Amino acid sequence: MELVFKALADETRRSVLDRLRERNGQTLRELCEHLDMARQSATQHIDILVRAGLVTVVRRGRERLHFLNPAPIHDIEQRWISGFDQPRLAALSAIRRQAEQEYAMTTVPTYVYVTYIHATAEQVWRALTDADLTARYWGHANVSDWQPGSPWEHRRTDGSGTADVVGTVLEAEPPARLVITFEDSPEEDRKPSTVTFLVEPHQDIVRLTVTHERLANLDMYRGISQGWPAVLANLKSLLETGEVLPQAPWEMGHAHA
**Separation of alpha carbons 178 and 210, rounded Å:** 10
pTM (two decimals): 0.67
pLDDT tens-digit profile of 89-111? 566 666 666 655 554 445 688 99
pLDDT at 256: 43
**Of 23-27, 37-41, 96-100, which range is least confident?**
96-100
Grade residue 34 by pLDDT with cuts at 50, 70 and 90. confident
Mean pLDDT, residues 224-253 taken together: 92
Q: List, for residues 185-211, the tens digit of each pLDDT value.
A: 766 677 899 999 999 999 999 999 999
- Tell me, rounded to whole angstroms, the distance of Cα 147 from its chain centroid: 24
Distance CA 115, CA 211 (A): 12
pLDDT at 257: 40
C-alpha distances out from residue 18 to 8, 68, 96, 218, Å: 11, 9, 16, 17
- Mean pLDDT within 120-142: 97
Query: What is the arithmetic mean of pLDDT over 107-118?
Result: 91
**Res 153: pLDDT:** 97
CA dist., res. 13 & res. 255, Å (int): 34
Residues 6 or more apart whose CB falls under 8 angstroms from that of 168 comprise 149, 150, 151, 152, 180, 181, 192
Q: Give the mean model confidence (pLDDT) for residues 109-124.
A: 95
pLDDT at 2: 86
Distance of alpha carbon 174 from alpha carbon 163, whole angstroms: 24
